[in-house]
C-alpha cells in the first residue's frame, strides 16, 4: 500500500480505556447496549471519557473501518455524546477562566515569555530525535485533519468574518494545490521522521491530554451555539503558531530530522504570521461587528484552548523530564 493510500484509509476502532469507551466501541462494533448513567461520574479530562468522546466525533470525519457510516447520526449514540460533551464543557467552564475580557485574552496570546518553558522551547534547545518523533505522533491526531473542524464554522459566519475565515482556510487547504494541503505536509513530516502516516494510527498511543485538544475543536465546530468559541480556538492556533513553529524549525534542523519535517514548520512561520492579522481584524472583528454578544464566547474559546494545551505540555515535559515516553504505557515504541 502506498503512503498516499495510508493517509486516506479509515482507521480501526481503538482499544477501550474504561467502561465508557468500551461501551462506545462495543456499540459501534456489535451494537452492544450503551450506558445510561456512567458518563457524569467519569473524570472529564481522563482517558475513558476523552476516548469515548473522540470515538463519537470521529464518525463525523472519516469513521472507522467496518463501521456503518449511518451511525454518524445514530440517536442513542448522539444522546451519549451530548452527555459526554456536557460533562467536558462544564469542567472547562469551571477551569478555563484566565480572562474575563477578550482584549486581555488576545493580548496574552501575543506576549512571548522571556524564558519560555513549553514543549517547543525544550525541543529547540535540547530535544532529542525520539522526542520529536513522539510529539509528531501525538500531534498527528490533529494535523492529519488540520483545518477540517474549523471549516464547520463557515456556514455560521457572515460578511467579513466569513470572508476572512475562508481566506485562511484556503491557505490551510493548500491554496488549491493538493500537495500543499497542510495535512499532506504533515504526513510528509512524519515520513521524514520514520512514522506511519496512516490516519488515526497513533490514537491508541495518545494520552487523554492529547485527545482533549482534538476533542475541543470538534466540540466547538459541531455546535452552532459554540461558534464564538470555535473562533476563539482558531485565533489561538493562528496567533501562537508562528513563534512556536520557528522554534520547531530550529529543532528539526538541529536534530537532522529531514527537509520535509523542517518545511512543515517553516511554512507555518510565514503563513501564520499573515493569518494572525486576518484572524484578529477580519474574523474576530467581523464576527463581533455582527454579533457583539459573542465576545465572551470568543474569550472562553481562547482560554479553553490554552488550558488544554498547557495540560498536554505539562504531561509531555513531566514524562520526558523523568526519561520516560509521553505515549501511553504498553503501546510500544514508535
- Within-domain flag for 18: yes
Q: What is the pTM of this model?
A: 0.94
Mean pLDDT of 259-266: 95
Mean pLDDT of 207-232: 98
Q: Which of 44-48, 65-69, 240-244 has the lowest mean pLDDT?
A: 240-244
* Higher per-residue confidence, 98 vs 47: 47
Cα(303)–Cα(236) distance, rounded to whole angstroms? 9
In a shared domain, residues 218 and 127: yes
Mean pLDDT of 266-274: 79
Mean pLDDT of 246-271: 93
Please give, one letter per residue, the 3-state secondary structure of 107-169: HHHHCCCCCCCCHHHHHHHCCCHHHHHHHHHHHHHHHCCCCHHHHCCHHHCCHHHHHHHHHHH
- Within-domain flag for 329: no
Total structural domains in the chain? Answer: 2
Cβ partners under 8 Å of residue 75, min gap 6: none
Is pLDDT of 2 > 50? no
In a shared domain, residues 45 and 73: yes
Task: Give the pLDDT score at 242.
Answer: 87
- Within-domain flag for 326: no
Cβ partners under 8 Å of residue 217, min gap 6: 142, 149, 150, 230, 233
In a shared domain, residues 70 and 112: no
- Within-domain flag for 332: no
Asked if 129 and 323 count as a contact pair (C-beta separation under 8 A), the reply is no
In a shared domain, residues 217 and 122: yes
Is pLDDT of 9 > 80? no
Domain boundary residue, one of 33, 62, 94: 94
Domain boundary residue, one of 76, 94, 112: 94
The 10s digit of each residue's pLDDT in 60-116 is 999 999 999 999 999 999 999 999 999 999 999 999 998 879 999 999 998 877 667
The 10s digit of each residue's pLDDT in 136-190 is 999 999 999 989 999 999 999 999 999 999 999 999 999 999 999 999 999 999 9
Q: How many residues does the chain have?
A: 334
In a shared domain, residues 58 and 198: no
Query: Which domain covers residue 14, as residue numbers?
Result: 3-94
In a shared domain, residues 67 and 117: no
- Within-domain flag for 327: no
Is pLDDT of 220 > 70? yes
Domain boundary residue, one of 94, 123, 149: 94
In a shared domain, residues 113 and 89: no
* pLDDT-based confidence at residue 1 (cuts at 50, 70, 90): very low
Cα(285)–Cα(289) distance, rounded to whole angstroms? 6
Report the b/e string of 44-71 with b at 16+ CB within 10 A: bbebbbbbbbbbbbbbebbbbeebeeeb
Asked if 119 and 135 count as a contact pair (C-beta separation under 8 A), the reply is yes
Is pLDDT of 4 > 50? no
Is pLDDT of 272 > 70? no
With a pLDDT cut of 90, the percent of the chain lying above it is 84
In a shared domain, residues 22 and 115: no
In a shared domain, residues 88 and 119: no
In a shared domain, residues 72 and 190: no
The CATH number linked to 150 is 1.20.910.10
- What does the mean pLDDT of the chain come to? 93
Is pLDDT of 271 > 90? no
Mean pLDDT of 296-313: 97
Task: Give the pLDDT score at 8.
Answer: 57
Amino acid at each position: 500500500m502506498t503512503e498516499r493510500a495510508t493517509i486516506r484509509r479509515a482507521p480501526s476502532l481503538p482499544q477501550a480505556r474504561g467502561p465508557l469507551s468500551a461501551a462506545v466501541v462495543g456499540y459501534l462494533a456489535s451494537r452492544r447496549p450503551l450506558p445510561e448513567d456512567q458518563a457524569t461520574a467519569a473524570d472529564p479530562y481522563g482517558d475513558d471519557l476523552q476516548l469515548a468522546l473522540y470515538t463519537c466525533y470521529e464518525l463525523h470525519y472519516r469513521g472507522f473501518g467496518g463501521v456503518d457510516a449511518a451511525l454518524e447520526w445514530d440517536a442513542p449514540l448522539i444522546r451519549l455524546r451530548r452527555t459526554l460533551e456536557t460533562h467536558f464543557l462544564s469542567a472547562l467552564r469551571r477551569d478555563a477562566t484566565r480572562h474575563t475580557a477578550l482584549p486581555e485574552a488576545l493580548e496574552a496570546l501575543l506576549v512571548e515569555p522571556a524564558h519560555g518553558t513549553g514543549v517547543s522551547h525544550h525541543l529547540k534547545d535540547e530535544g532529542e530525535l525520539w522526542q520529536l518523533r513522539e510529539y509528531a505522533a501525538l500531534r498527528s491526531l490533529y494535523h492529519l485533519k488540520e483545518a477540517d473542524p474549523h471549516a464547520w464554522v463557515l456556514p455560521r459566519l457572515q460578511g467579513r468574518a466569513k470572508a476572512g475565515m475562508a481566506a485562511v482556510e484556503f491557505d490551510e487547504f493548500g491554496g488549491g494545490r493538493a500537495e500543499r494541503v497542510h495535512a499532506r505536509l504533515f504526513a510528509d513530516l512524519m515520513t521524514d521522521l520514520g512514522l506511519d502516516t496512516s490516519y488515526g494510527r497513533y490514537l491508541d498511543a495518545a494520552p487523554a491530554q492529547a485527545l482533549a485538544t482534538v476533542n475541543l475543536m470538534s466540540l466547538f465546530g459541531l455546535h452552532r451555539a459554540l461558534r464564538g468559541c470555535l473562533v476563539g480556538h482558531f485565533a489561538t492556533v493562528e496567533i501562537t503558531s508562528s513563534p512556536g513553529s520557528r522554534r520547531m524549525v530550529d529543532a528539526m534542523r538541529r536534530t537532522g530530522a529531514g527537509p520535509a519535517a523542517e518545511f512543515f514548520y517553516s511554512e507555518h512561520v510565514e503563513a501564520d504570521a499573515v493569518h494572525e492579522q486576518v484572524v484578529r481584524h477580519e474574523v474576530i472583528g467581523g464576527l463581533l461587528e455582527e454579533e457583539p454578544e459573542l465576545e465572551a464566547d470568543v474569550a472562553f474559546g481562547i482560554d479553553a484552548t490554552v488550558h488544554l494545551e498547557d495540560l498536554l505540555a505539562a504531561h509531555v515535559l513531566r514524562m520526558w523530564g523523568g526519561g520516560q515516553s509521553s505515549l501511553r504505557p504498553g503501546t510500544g515504541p514508535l
